[in-house]
Amino acid sequence: MAKVKTSFFCQNCGTQYAKWQGQCNACKEWNTIAEEIIQKQEKVAWKSEPTPGNRAPKPLKITEIDSAQEVRMDTTDGELNRVLGGGIVPGSLTLLGGEPGIGKSTLLLQISLKLPYKTLYVSGEESQKQIKMRAERITPNSDNCYILTETKTQNIFKQVEAIQPEIVIIDSIQTLHTDYIESTAGSISQIRETTAELIKFAKETSIPVILIGHITKDGNIAGPKILEHMVDTVLQFEGDRNHVYRILRSLKNRFGSTAELGIYEMLGSGLREVSNPSEILISHKDEEMSGTAIATTMEGMRPLMIEIQSLVSTAVYGTPQRSTTGYNAKRLNMILAVLEKRAGFRLGAKDVFLNVTGGISVDDPAIDLAVVAAILSSNEDIPITKGFCFAGEVGLSGEIRPVNRVDQRIQEAEKLGFNTIFVSKYNKIALKNTGIKIELVAKIEDVASFLFG
């Protein structure tokens, strides 16, 4: 047994100190530094005896490295494949975080039951019977899914050697502990050590590992920040538990884009993929109402149609309110100043409320024109004609600036049945003979005169 060592770790950010102190220098939090006993043992966690194939790697010229692309593993889930960049990369480590009860365990159990690969689902939070009850609700039985309730990494690796799975899912990393160190599960040192063992296992065996991670009250993934640096991919599962829709985002991805978005609907039988997000982002109503406009936005390579709602009313309490949901409040103030200065609309003494429906947040500047249209529609109390949509960025001089991928936006609008789209006259449009009318506008005044005469 090696000498017992103690270190002090901040439980909020994971910074290590040689001695205790009241405030963490890194995150400025008080009374978060705790002592943890680190007790190294002489054995290793994975494959203690070296095999002939485990030789020390030698440096290679970059021109000598095989550039053949690794074959990805299909998850049978179109939304997850899109967010991951095409599927699971062998030997990768993926971390999935999200609010409690948002559906992280449901998503991964659902995928593990449908995968054509042999999957080991390790749970440190639920019993096998609890998981079986949820599995029966989600999908019929699968012969490829093995359930293990264990929290000690050394025992998990023994079962991996016995079963030889092709994918390992850990629920969750905060429940694991290792013989390497003596501290409670979920502590900074345990999370760091167990993750390092799983990375070593994944890279040596080319078996992908998917981890579920808890989050803090601020919405960040719990544990040290180094956890996110160590893994290959970080996914965030978002949504309100009071609503049925869930959004899967990629915060970090070494094998693909971080701009992609996956959307699910929570049902009693599990999570349903939403292949056409516009069905949930645009409300269906019988009569036209003022203050609503449809914008075309891009999430990665996927065009979306979203509904912008606005309410403009006289300020009751003297000081006008500016409130937004899903849209940048500072950008709203800028647009209101442009409308006041460049277009002559008197909105300085009025309350302005803006909402992006569906509970998503959008930072694409191409929705500026739809925001302007919704605000003016509410101010004039004149509804925008059904079938109109918008794609344009508003500049400080009141001009309508061109946006990227305008052809994809136009095709998506046409596919969903819109008959007119407003875009900047400075956009270069390659589409010919489209079924949708393309209105080219240069300034805010052109849009206002066209919509409201």
100-139 pLDDT, tens digit each: 888 899 999 999 998 889 999 999 989 999 999 888 888 7
3-state secondary structure of 162: helix
**Would you give the DSSP letter of residue 14?**
-
Least confident residue range of 9-18, 162-171, 335-344: 9-18
Residue 293: pLDDT above 90?
yes
Let me know: does 104 contact 234? Beta carbons within 8 Å: no
Confidence grade of residue 56 (pLDDT, cut at 50, 70, 90):
low
What would the mean pLDDT of 412-425 be, rounded to a whole number? Answer: 91
Per-residue pLDDT, 51: 45
SS3 call for 168: strand
> Cis link prior to 172 (omega < 30° from 0)?
yes
pLDDT at 42 over 60: no
* 6-32 mean pLDDT: 87
- The DSSP symbol for 152 reads B
Q: Is it the case that residue 44 has pLDDT exceeding 80? A: no
Whole-angstrom distance, CA of residue 442 vs CA of residue 96: 44
- Per residue in 157-207, pLDDT (tens digit) is 999 999 999 999 999 899 999 887 878 888 888 888 899 999 999 999 999
Can you name the residues that pair with 437 across neighbouring β-strands? 420
pLDDT computed for residue 52 by the predictor: 43
CA 227/CA 424 separation, integer angstroms: 44
Q: Are 367 and 361 in contact (CB under 8 A)?
A: no
Span 338-360, mean pLDDT?
A: 87
Does pLDDT of 41 surpass 60? no
Q: Please tell me the least confidently modeled range out of 59-73, 262-276, 381-395.
A: 59-73
Residue 199 structure tokens: 């990375």
Contact assessment for residue 262 and residue 75, using Cβ atoms and an 8 Å cutoff: no
- CA separation for the pair 384, 362 (Å, rounded): 22
Return the pLDDT at 292.
Answer: 94
The model's pLDDT over 150-162, given as tens digits with 9 standing for 90+, comes to: 999 999 999 999 9
Percent pLDDT > 90 in the chain is 46
pLDDT class for 40, splitting at 50, 70, 90?
Answer: low
As a whole number, mean pLDDT of residues 438-444 equals 93
Question: What would the mean pLDDT of 79-86 be, rounded to a whole number?
Answer: 90
Beta bridge partners of 356: 308
pLDDT score of 55: 55
| Statement: residue 88 has pLDDT above 90 | yes
368-380 helix and 329-341 helix, angle to the nearest 10 degrees: 60
* H helix runs in 76-230, sequence order: 78-84, 104-114, 128-138, 153-163, 188-205, 226-230
- Confidence (pLDDT) at 12: 81
Phi, psi of 409 (to 5 degrees): -65, -40
Q: CA triplet 126, 130, 133: central angle to 5 degrees?
A: 150
**pLDDT at residue 332, rounded to an integer:** 95
Bridge partner residues of 160 (DSSP):
none
